[in-house]
Structure 1
Amino acid sequence: MASMLEFRTPGFNPYAVKYSPYYDSRLAVAASSNYGIVGNGRLFVLGLGPQGIQLEKGFDTNDALYDLAWSEINENQLVVACGDGSLKLFDLAAGDFPVMNFAEHKREAFSVCWNPIAKDSFISSSWDGTIKIWSPSRPTSLKTLPVGNCTYSTAFSPMNPSIISAVSSDSHIRVFDLRTPVSAKYHLTTVIPAHAPPQAPTGPGAGPGAPLPMLSTGETFAGSVPSEILTHDWNKYRDGVIATAGVDRFIRTFDLRNPTGGPTAVLPGHEYAVRRLAWSPHASDVLASASYDMTVRVWSDGSSSSPPAAAAPGLGQSNHVIPVGNQLGVMNRHSEFATGVDWCLFGAGGWLASAGWDQRVLVWDAHTLLRP
């Protein structure tokens, strides 16, 4: 494959890679020793230049690092999520130690996201079943949102600074709106069971005796046994559209305007659990995924094509069809679990960074993958 750059993280297994929102030539990697099971962590800040990928700065932590987010108000700052439940804010211009430490989570902090609109706060989620909202200038959280289950991923809506989403081990998507009264379920406004069939079955063949829908892979994709959701991301162009994926290998998209309508598209193809999703910042129908099957894949959810390339009937509702998205390409250069993927915000719209447990960070042009 042409146009691929590589950086090694010897002794550390990456969990996340993120491009800077300020520079197309800078990215950061959160990594852990011993696959994050035991030991310390390291944050790598990398620069892309004529000599390839170079280390600009490294920060060591006493526990594993599982995620990171760049500050939206300071180009030199970024926050990491740690295995001891803490969050640490580092500054590239302020030495080797964190400038702030946030220690309230009772178990591993697994996800962190900066507010892309208000820019004055960030959120974290943890295996302790909570989401916490933070200000970068104060050590105690602004608010805690209870989920009740191991919460693998949380994110701010890219359209509304008051809306927060989360996915968890109980196979549900939760959406919180901070504008609602706190007494109303702690701002919880929407709960979607990601593996449930669409509601209100009608027509012949409906009901519990109806056969499960099948894909060309020969596997059911909807209404299957609930499984852990490990990752999700908001579409940058279509308000309320979220993609989710996890242990059952399928990527699903949902429209929050129709929370009981089931998935709006399903993307089959990964052979093992999907660890990370990222919608393209350049195209409304394109997303990338990183999986334990050691591949990074680029997809179209089919929303820009009419009619969709393929469709399958939804469970228990004979007149409900779920479009099946298209796999545009596969990158299989990782030799261990692929755990991170992110799009560069700048340029022609095809550059991706990926990271995996093979102690490698790869930067490559997804256009070389795309089928004609």
Structure 2
Amino acid sequence: MSLRYRSAGFKGYAVKFSPFSDRLLAAATSANFGLVGNGRLCVLNAQAGLDGLMPRQQYDTQDGLFDLSWSEVHENQLVTASGDGSIKLWDITLNGFPVSKWHEHKREVMSVEWNYTSKSSFLSSSWDGSAKLWNPNVPQSLKTFAEHTGCVYTAAWSPRSPDQFATCSEDKTVKLWSINDHNAKSLMTFGGHMDQVISLDWNKYMPNQFVTSSVDRTIKVWDTRNPRGQVSMFGPFEFSIRRVKFSPFSPNFIATAGYDMSASVWDVRNGSVVYVHDAHREFVFGVDWSLFHPGQLATCSWDEHINVFSVPIPQN
């Protein structure tokens, strides 16, 4: 199955499948490369047939959108990260306006992620060098984590420890944190990339392992028990990898979205590429795995298209 939707005039930055429905996904998009102008949250139904991906709901915002995350407790809600420093909570059963909004970050919000273990909070990260902890029922952030000396591209929860998360940054480092630390100080720092670390994701089956990608054109796999060096490295490639995502069905496969205008699936055991999706014609910024259908992926690109397709990879 291969489905396609055109977000005309809006370039894709992030796409996420719903954790509640095998037919629902959403994309965060921006006009004018996210530099100036509006954003748009596109909520889509993945329906096979001539109609492809069908729009269910659409929300326009005053500034570009760079990321989104579905709520883990409310099937119709999701949060978005905006270029004006704001975070908004949307309910897709309602039209028009967000149901809540927050504006504490001083610069663009680059990532948001709901805690899928405790389910009661979410993280944000920003160009202002900080990550913040939020509860959707509280009007201000619960805690700020601000050790990085550059943009924090991603803040990602540990899949096994509901109080721990990792961040990656423009300052070439990855940091591990606990929300229970009274002083909001990092637990450890991982250094090894030679340039900005722009994406991070955890292995869902090996709780000490995570993967990063960098402007240095490499992918690295790390173990939290060994902060002195990576477990393995792939690359350098011709172009940087913009986003990395571990499979929810296997510890051995990651999906990547890249500046080579493709999305790929890799076997981390040997660094081999097992599938390449080359249907896009511009930078691919977003990639996500379905939680319901093994091997199903969604991508979004600066070519203004959102694709859903299936990858024939072994689930071992």
Instruction: Give TM class, smaller chain.
Output: over 0.9
Equivalent-residue separation in structure 2 for 1:76 and 1:265 (angstroms):
39
Equivalent-residue separation in structure 1 for 2:275 and 2:75 (angstroms):
33
CA shift for structure 1 position 329:
2.0
The aligned counterpart of 1:264 is 231
Of the three residues 225, 234, 238, the one matched with 2:206 is 238
The aligned counterpart of 1:354 is 299
CA shift for structure 1 position 148:
3.0
The aligned counterpart of 1:344 is 290
Please tell me whether the aligned partners of residues 12 and 41 of structure 1 are also in contact (alpha carbons under 8 angstroms). Answer: yes
Instruction: State the TM-score, normalizing by the size of structure 2.
Output: 0.96
The aligned counterpart of 2:17 is 19
The aligned counterpart of 1:194 is 192
Equivalent-residue separation in structure 2 for 1:94 and 1:331 (angstroms):
34
Residue 101 of structure 2 corresponds to residue 101 of structure 1? yes
The aligned counterpart of 1:135 is 135
| Unmatched runs of 5 consecutive residues or more in structure 2 | none
Instruction: State the TM-score, normalizing by the size of structure 1.
Output: 0.82
Instruction: Specify the code of the residue in structure 1 equivalent to 2:179.
Output: L
The aligned counterpart of 1:57 is 57
The aligned counterpart of 2:151 is 150
* TM-superposition CA deviations, 1:2-30 (whole Å, max 9, x none): x2111100010010000000011110000
Please tell me whether the aligned partners of residues 78 and 90 of structure 2 are also in contact (alpha carbons under 8 angstroms). Answer: yes
* TM-superposition CA deviations, 1:304-324 (whole Å, max 9, x none): xxxxx5xxxxxxxxxxxxxxx
**Secondary structure at the counterpart of residue 111 of structure 1:** strand
The aligned counterpart of 2:215 is 247
The aligned counterpart of 2:279 is 333
Residue 309 of structure 2 corresponds to residue 364 of structure 1? yes
The aligned counterpart of 1:296 is 263
Instruction: Specify the code of the residue in structure 1 equivalent to 2:88.
Output: K
Please tell me whether the aligned partners of residues 149 and 171 of structure 2 are also in contact (alpha carbons under 8 angstroms). Answer: no
**Secondary structure at the counterpart of residue 207 of structure 2:** coil
Q: CA RMSD in A?
A: 1.2
- Equivalent runs, 1:313-332 vs 2, <5 Å: 325-332=271-278
CA shift for structure 1 position 111:
0.5
CA shift for structure 1 position 332:
1.1
- Kindly name which structure, 1 or 2, has the bigger radius of gyration based on alpha carbons: 1
Equivalent-residue separation in structure 2 for 1:268 and 1:366 (angstroms):
23
The aligned counterpart of 1:70 is 70
Instruction: Specify the code of the residue in structure 2 equivalent to 1:21.
Output: P
| Unmatched runs of 5 consecutive residues or more in structure 1 | 196-225, 303-308, 310-324
% identity of equivalent residues: 42
TM-aligned CA distance change 1:270 to 1:359, over 3 Å: farther
Please tell me whether the aligned partners of residues 216 and 236 of structure 2 are also in contact (alpha carbons under 8 angstroms). Answer: no
Equivalent-residue separation in structure 1 for 2:99 and 2:19 (angstroms):
20
CA shift for structure 1 position 178:
2.2
CA shift for structure 1 position 294:
0.3
Of the three residues 265, 274, 277, the one matched with 2:241 is 274
CA shift for structure 1 position 270:
4.0
* TM-superposition CA deviations, 1:273-319 (whole Å, max 9, x none): 211111000110100000011011100110xxxxxx5xxxxxxxxxx
The aligned counterpart of 1:170 is 171
**Secondary structure at the counterpart of residue 35 of structure 1:** helix
Please tell me whether the aligned partners of residues 8 and 359 of structure 1 are also in contact (alpha carbons under 8 angstroms). Answer: yes
CA shift for structure 1 position 179:
2.9
